[in-house]
Amino acid sequence: MEEATAARRMTPLHLLGSVVVVALVTIVLSMSIQPVVEDLVASDVNGVRVPVWERRDMPYITDDVHGFVLEQGPYLPLSTENEWNSTHVFVEFDLPLSEGGSAAEGPRISLAYWRPDVPEGVQVPVIAEIGPYFQEPSVETPTIEVPGSWLGEMIVNQLLPHGYAFAQISVTGTGRSNHCMDLMGFAEQEGIDAAVTWLGAQTWSNGGVALIGKSYDGSTPWQAAMYGNEALKTIVPISGLIGVKELMWRNGSAEARAPIMHNGVYGSYGLDGDEEDYQNLCPDYIIGPGTGVSAYVFGSEVAGDYWEERYFLDRVLENYHGSVYLIQGLHDWNVDPHMAVPTMNRLIDAGIEAKGLFGQWDHDYPDRPVQLDDRSDLGGRGGEAFPEMVRYDWMQDLHEWFDYYLKGIGPQPGQWIEVQSNDGQWRLENRYPPNDAVERRWTLGEDLILDGGGLTVFPDASSGPVWTSEPLDTELSVVGTPRLHVEVRTTTVGGQLYALLESCDPDGTCIHVGHAIMDLRYHAGGDDVQAWLAPFDSITALMEFMPLDATIPEGHTLRLSLASTGEDYLPATTSSIVTVLEGEGSTLQLDVVDLDSKVLFEPPTCLHERCLGA
């Protein structure tokens, strides 16, 4: 979960002058999107408000390394004693002695904040980023008093002038925060909640706090939302975790990093060879490596509540009263898109005001042309959607979101999902997966014909069956989470299947559409082992692909392959020869939508040199 860095430039936008606009004209978009109230008219209150389907022709800066707001705000940063105009404090909080570490002497959180120079008595809301990267030599970040180059600079230079404070906060055991590096556990959660409370309680604060960040810093907003803290008004998780185990395990199958994630990846944070290293002697820090290895061996929690403590979504749905702007790359290799899908629909069903932005990028912010280009490959790995994936309107989008949810000004932002197909086309959905999708089904051995490899999957990761369809008689817009229900027999209790779905043109060139993984001990899905009497009984593996959004052109064929593992997943600890049974018990199920019924739009055109050369 690394952070990208980018330089930035702040250019005042004179093309719009000082006239500001708000939306007032009602437009009925489609049957799937509620009527909205938005068009451009003169006002002097709320600033620029531009509906997403009209942004293409607005004068956004579209040739820089990231996006910009449409108008420069009137405020400068409030000067402080340091050259970065920041103020550093420690926020103290309580932990039970059972947490070990620094609990006896009192845990504290390192926090730096920036304020706008507003008239005396004016209170402002706070936008904050919380994570483990501030002032950590291992990731070459400067002191926490310097705004992070990956996001903090943008907020200080673009949103602070509109009347927002900004804060950077180190989680426990990182930077100058003491106690253990708890990897999203209870101590970390308590420290996050204490920091949110502190920010909302300051005399210069209006009491409203927003949390934003990517990767680890996109996971801390979910942790904060579990508490139902009245100061937390909105969160913007960008490729964040709804749970730690969910990051590295899928239906019992483990990623390569899974057994070492706690101490191997993040455990060195807070260890610098000084006398304070003893603070990492916390129970969860000590058992972390063993918990990871045991989960790889057994596929789930063996004893205790290590993983349960680090699952956030259910508690968010129960306790949180704010809004969520959920951002996810559909080709994210690091934080897979099943963190966002079907999370989006669970938020909506819980009555939480929510918006989604799902593009064909990797583990990135949505407005960075260099990073999006570098980390998007052709062959169905995001490259076909570049440069349309670059969202130069994103910072303006954040401005409007925070204005409404932190200040209560402007029209409510659209409660929809902006989703991009693999061919680059953007559209609006009111749920994701959409509720108007229609299932199409292909039966193995009938609609999908065995094209090689036999029907046996050996645990060597290099062999397995391949099926191919007839050329499609119509274009398919495939959405959400396709399913492969495959009937199999195994030689022992165990085994693993990796499924790869591709779209192949008439010349035989195939691109990645989606993939799925399953430890067959978990053949019904989820975290519970299901027993069967191998090798005498057959079982049906209810495999679910990673969330995707793909257009498969007319005339292309579907190609489905099975192997024992793939991508960056480990081989199963219960290796077995798996035999596939064709027929009605083995089907590929795709959900498709009709684009003629959707609101399609084009974002502002990217004029960065990377985009012009695409």
Nearest C-alpha neighbor of 83 from the set 143, 151, 155, 22: 143
* Neighbour count for residue 507 (Cβ, 10 Å): 6
Q: For 452-474, what is the mean pLDDT?
A: 92
- For residues 570-586, give the mean pLDDT: 92
pLDDT > 70? residue 45: no
48-51 LR contacts (CB < 8 Å, sep 24+): 48/16, 48/20, 48/21, 48/396, 49/21, 49/22, 49/23, 49/400, 49/410, 49/411, 50/21, 50/393, 50/396, 51/23, 51/27, 51/414
In this predicted structure, the answer to whether residue 452 has a pLDDT above a threshold of 90 is no
Q: For residue 293, what pLDDT is reported?
A: 77
pLDDT of residue 100: 82
Q: Identify the DSSP state of 444.
A: B
> Which of 16, 2, 74 lies closest to 49, judged by CA?
16
All residues at 6 or more sequence positions from 93 whose CB lies less than 8 Å from its CB, including other chains: 107, 108, 109, 190, 191, 193, 194
Residue 126 reports pLDDT greater than 70: yes
CATH class of the domain at 438-592: mainly beta
Q: Is the pLDDT of residue 360 over 90?
A: yes
Question: What's the confidence (pLDDT) of residue 492?
Answer: 85
Comparing 465-474, 518-527, 556-565, the range with the smallest average pLDDT is: 518-527
Q: Which CATH number fits domain 73-242+312-321: 3.40.50.2000, 1.20.120.80, 3.40.50.1820, 2.60.40.1180?
A: 3.40.50.1820
Name the residue type at position 314.
D
Average pLDDT over the chain, rounded to whole? 88
pLDDT mean over 399-418: 96
Query: DSSP code of 148?
Result: P
Segment 358-364 mean pLDDT: 97
Q: How confident is the model at residue 543 (pLDDT cuts 50, 70, 90)?
A: very high
- Whether the per-residue pLDDT at 343 is higher than 70: the answer is yes
Q: Mean pLDDT throughout 112-132?
A: 97
Name the most confidently modeled range: 150-154, 459-463, 537-541.
Answer: 150-154
Residue that wins the pLDDT comparison between 23 and 451: 451
Has residue 138 got a pLDDT over 90? no
pLDDT tens, residue by residue, 6-39: 322 222 222 233 223 333 322 334 334 533 333 3
Identical fold for domains 73-242+312-321 and 438-592, yes or no, is no
Question: Residue 49: which pLDDT band, with cuts at 50, 70 and 90?
Answer: confident
Residue 8 is predicted with a pLDDT of 24
Q: Is the pLDDT of residue 121 over 90?
A: yes
**For the segment 488-521, what is each residue's pLDDT rounded down to a tens digit?**
999 888 899 999 999 999 999 999 999 999 999 9
E-assigned strands of 278-409? Answer: 323-329, 354-359
- Segment 390-399 mean pLDDT: 97
- The answer to whether residue 269 scores a pLDDT higher than 80 is no
Mean pLDDT over 153-180 rounds to 96
The answer to whether 207 and 139 have CB atoms below 8 angstroms apart is no
pTM of the model: 0.91
At residue 275, does pLDDT exceed 70? Answer: no
Query: What are the strands of the beta sheet with 510-519, ordered from one edge?
Result: 448-452, 466-469, 557-563, 496-504, 510-519
pLDDT tens digits along 200-232: 999 999 999 999 999 999 999 999 999 999 999
Bond prior to 535 in cis (omega within 30° of 0)? yes
Q: Are 118 and 163 in contact (CB under 8 A)?
A: yes
Query: Residue 289: phi, psi to the nearest 5?
Result: -60, -45
Q: Where are the domains of the chain?
A: 1-71+326-436+594-614, 73-242+312-321, 438-592
CA distances from 175 to 93, 144, 151, 474 (A): 17, 8, 18, 56
